[in-house]
Amino acid sequence: MRARIFLLTGLAAILVALHAPYIRLPFHWDELGQFVPAALDLYRDGAWVTHSTDPNVHPPGLMAVLAMAWRVAGFSVAASRLTMLLIAAAGAYAAFLLAIRLGRTSAGAPGFTAVAFLLAAPMFYTQSMMVLLDMPAMGLTAFALLLFLEERYAACAAATVALVLVKETALTTPMVFGAWLLFRDRRMQPALYFFAPAVALGLWLVYLRQATGSWFGNAEFAQYNVTDSFTPLHILYALLRRAYTLLIADGHWIGAIALWQGRRALRGRDWSVAWAVAAAQLAAVTLLGGAVLDRYLLPVLPILYAAFAVAACTYTVRWRMSSNLAVLGLMVTGWFVNPPYPFPLENNLAVVDFVDLQHEASQYLESNFTGRRVASVWPLTAAIRNPDFGYVQVRIPTLRTPGLRLADFQALPLREEDVIVTYSRGQTPPRYILENPTLRGWFAPFVDLQPEASSAELQSIGYRSQARWERKGQWVEIYSR
């Protein structure tokens, strides 16, 4: 027990130390768009269904944890980030124990290698401090899988209840467990335990429908994440992107080679259950979800990295060390080096550059344009309207545009004193894609190909640049008349 406490404490200390420069980093994108407002509504008003932002189908598990943490420490960006880092440390600990279980017949300490991969992964590094659902879902998935493999079925079912109350798509995990017990092991009684997560999720959906009139919280959410995403082209794009993220990006291609070379070590009941859990989760986030975000794959990573580590144990010692160190080196490089194509900024430290630029611009607006309306696109408009998000101390009035094109600004009822802010959002593809008809046609259904309004275009409606900030290809620019 002392060793386990020491390991968990050590993982928490490592994560806090690695993220020390970002503990007070203002909230980003979906944090300020959904999860922080929803948690604040629960913390301040006891509202399980948010009223300060659009409600959706996501259960309130994480929001409840944050509300409890804020009851102890008070609301702040730092308290929120530290809470998420502790959750990430618990997830890394569960991934370590799972890797030990899956690799118990292997030499070469695959458990330590697997958790090193996880800590070094760029997406884990940034996501571990962010107020999003996928990191706690990862930890609970790994913990539940470990309990299932140890045949602690009642405890496993309880863990999966907590899991689906954090992330609804994680219902696939208890479904796999129940189906395995029922059809493979022919054990009816423990299989029945895994109806409990579906019941818990069902009760949340009933409550949500009573509060909002919609099973998904709002019709637009259902349209975007279910109806619009369930098309052949979208599914193909999502499938290719999932394959690239898991098997090629950030040094994963080296691990994929090890998977093929050491595939015989990845057999048996434990691995079969683990692969079934990973495949079911992968199918859920490929078929559903309008935004094909890579963070949805976090629950798969502990299984994948355990497989990388165990498969590499079939190499000679020299080749194993070389392979593992190469993966780790490319992963850490991925913290700082951006890929040459559109990607979610939250996948690596590009998110810090984005938030820092938005913060600098917000501070400039607060100091130089007090009381004047700011016309821009979300999430900046949300960031400067609410001091809770860490960008400003006083609310700034805004005009929200659907985009950053000249036509978007021309359609607004702009007044003489209004200010315009344009900025890069990490979604407009680089020039080599925009200028290539084939690549442009491929990306068109999935990303915004319309560039932001230029300085010359904004000058045509009477606006001139007052300030501009740039960092590693990202930028923010402020205009006034």
Distance CA 366, CA 355 (A): 16
Judgement on whether residues 303 and 419 belong to the same structural domain of the protein? no
Identify whether residues 306 and 373 lie together within a single domain.
Answer: no
Tally of domains in the chain: 2
Could you tell me which residue, 109 or 249, shows the higher pLDDT?
A: 249
Q: Is the same domain home to 398 and 297?
A: no
Exposed (0-12), middle (13-18) or buried (19+): which is 211, by Cβ within 10 Å? middle
Residue 218 carries which DSSP code? S
Question: In terms of domains, do 274 and 411 share one?
Answer: no
Q: Residue 144 corresponds to which tokens in the numbers above? A: 């539940």
Predicted TM-score of the model (pTM): 0.94
Q: Which of 320, 346, 372 is the last residue of a domain?
A: 346
pLDDT digits (tens, 9 = 90+) for 214-233: 998 888 877 777 777 778 88
Note the helical H segments in 216-261: 219-222, 232-247, 252-261
Q: Which of 292, 326, 346 is the last residue of a domain?
A: 346
For the stretch 54-84, pLDDT in tens is: 999 999 999 999 999 999 999 999 999 999 9
Strand partners, 474: 471
Cα separation, 328 vs 252, in Å, equals 10
Residues 374 and 324 reside in one and the same domain: no
- Paired with 423 in beta bridges are 476
Residues 140 and 289 in one domain: yes
Which of 346, 380, 407 is the C-terminal boundary of a domain? 346
Question: pLDDT per residue over 26-43, tens digit each?
Answer: 999 999 999 999 999 999
Mean pLDDT across 368-395? 95
Strands (E), 350-418: 374-377, 398-401
Asked whether residue 184 falls in the same domain as residue 277, the answer is yes
At residue 368, the pLDDT reads 95
Question: 370: pLDDT confidence band, cut at 50, 70 and 90?
Answer: confident
Domain co-membership, 340 together with 380: no
Residues 135 and 148 in one domain: yes
Q: Let me know the angle formed at the C-alpha of 203 by 198 and 205, rounded to the nearest 5 degrees.
A: 95
Same-domain status, 365 and 333? no
Residues 6+ apart with CB under 8 A from 85: 12, 15, 16, 19, 128, 129
Residue that the structure tokens 């959750």 belong to: 87
Let me know: does 80 contact 68? Beta carbons within 8 Å: no
Domain that includes residue 473, residue range: 349-480
C-alpha pair distances (Å), 249 with each of 28, 36, 241, 263, 294: 23, 30, 10, 20, 11
Residue 274 and residue 404 in one domain: no
pLDDT, tens digit, 9 for 90 and up, residues 264-282 = 999 999 999 999 999 999 9
Paired residues of 480 in beta bridges: 419, 464
Tell me, rounded to whole angstroms, the distance of Cα 451 from its chain centroid: 25
Q: Are residues 9 and 117 in the same domain?
A: yes
